[in-house]
A and B are shown apart, each in its own frame.
Chain A
Amino acid sequence: MREIEFDVVVKAVKDMIMHCGTDLPQDTYDALEKAMEEEKSPVSKEVIRQLLENANIAKDEKRPLCQDTGLAVFFVYVGEEVRINGGLLRDAINKGTEQGYTEGYLRASTCEPFSRLNLKDSVGYNLPAIIHFDIVKGDKIDIEYAAKGGGSENVSRARVFPPAAGKDGIVEYVKEVISDAGGNPCPPITVGVGIGGTFEKAVISSKHALFRDLETENPDSEMAELEARMLVEINNLGIGAMGMGGTKTALAVHIEANPCHIASLPVSVNVQCHSSRHTHITI
């Protein structure tokens, strides 16, 4: 059994959060650069230019990329042969989150659902983090992290279709969700599509799809083809950067598909904005 100190996890999580708050991941930066070259609308081109300039300023001056520094979302893969010394893994992740948001001057965006008051006093700064655990082989811990902003989360949707809806039904649904969203989720966006499983499995898959690096191909060629088809259809909507009209509404579509019940076809669409702050670490 390998032992990992509680504080090692806290520090790793804190560092990830502070880094992501100010440094746009390279895959997103590269995708935006390519989008700027290809964008046909001069207004949208200028918006993307501003986004790249924003990323440069944020990185050089260590300022948050966006004032919405999001809720902290984690997918954590815990090896069977590892244990945390000195506390619970969940507590370590929450503590690292609190430290990262505080020391990085990132905004606390968590609030009670009805009073809308910040939980700072009762629970902590920007806590609790949203954590999805899984158990895997080995003696390591893999932590994937993303900061999830409200603008793009607010336009996300899920629905359980009858199986007959098929691929065409899913493509139509994705188009409808993105069309209704317009400029609100801060395009150019990444679109995560979770297909199959149960209702909640589809939703979590659509979230996890957003953690995939933008330059990677879907290993399933059938899904890769469906992603390409959706991307074209979304960009044909003409929404453009920040909804100002243009040809680059989405940078990528990522699908995660799962086996599902013979009676149902769950579909979830989770949107990530251009400020796609994500990273991962192995301890």
Chain B
Amino acid sequence: MATYSLTTPITSEDTKQLVAGDTVLLNGTIFTARDAAHSRLVKLIEEGKELPFDLEGSIIYFVGPTPPKPGDPIGSAGPTTSYRMDSFSPTMLKNGSKGMIGKGNRNQEVKDACVAYDGIYFGATGGAGALLGKQIRSAEVIAYPELGPEAVRKITVEDFPVTVVNDTKGNDLYQMGREQYEVK
């Protein structure tokens, strides 16, 4: 299991070297979106309309942060459960997005889309909101402010720690890890 440092936007060359279980420290700009924002973004894609940000090489973080304290760019910001985005993620990957950050299992369609479009599903430590929030240097709402914590934010991260869960070869860390430690 290797450790990598990647800066966004990322390419197929970046994602193809990663294997389930690897640790990655992310740098650069990433975008936040949860259920409500995803459904709006996918609708825009289907209608052929312009998106509030460039999907090519992007990483989407499934998060709804706490309100920032005065002087801070963002509050606590750990991942939310990813399966609620399963129906949207393949469309995002097909249209150029290269990575997702969340927690918990994805369905087969998402895993297949990671293989087909060189995408990676990263797991961040759920519930480590204070620690992860600290790695976010700036945050700006760029779409859907009415969604509150669910608005789309452009955030800048520094050495943001994630683990590769689903890689471009169809591996699944959750499945592999569990099989290894299961006592029958």
Contacts and interface: CB of A to CB of B under 8 A. Distances in A.
B177 A43 contact: yes
Contacts of B149: 67, 107-108
Interface residues on A, range: 35 or more
Contacts of B8: none
B168 to A, nearest CB: 19
Contacts of B132: 54
Interface residues on B, range: 35 or more
Nearest to A273: B127
Given A69-B66, A182-B105, A246-B181, A151 B129 contact: no
Given A67-B63, A67-B78, A273-B126, A184 B83 contact: yes
B66 A107 contact: yes
Interface of A is mostly: loop
Given A50-B128, A63-B75, A243 B105 contact: yes
Given A61-B130, A105-B75, A183-B103, A245 B83 contact: no
Which of B76, B132, B180: most chain A Cβ within 10 A? B76
A202 interface: no
Interface in B32-54: 36
B127 A186 contact: yes
B129 A65 contact: yes
A41 interface: yes
B174 A244 contact: yes
Interface stretch (A10-18, A74-82, A92-100, A231-239): A231-239
Contacts of A247: 181
Q: Which A-B residue pairs are the 10 nearest by beta carbons?
A: A245-B177, A238-B182, A238-B181, A58-B130, A236-B183, A184-B104, A54-B131, A54-B128, A64-B76, A63-B130
Interface of A: 22, 40-41, 43-44, 47, 50-51, 53-55, 57-58, 61-69, 105-108, 116, 118, 149-151, 154, 182-184, 186, 236-240, 242-247, 273-275
19 contacts: A40-B181, A54-B127, A58-B76, A62-B69, A63-B129, A66-B127, A67-B129, A68-B80, A68-B127, A107-B65, A108-B148, A183-B103, A184-B105, A237-B182, A242-B126, A243-B103, A244-B177, A247-B181, A275-B127
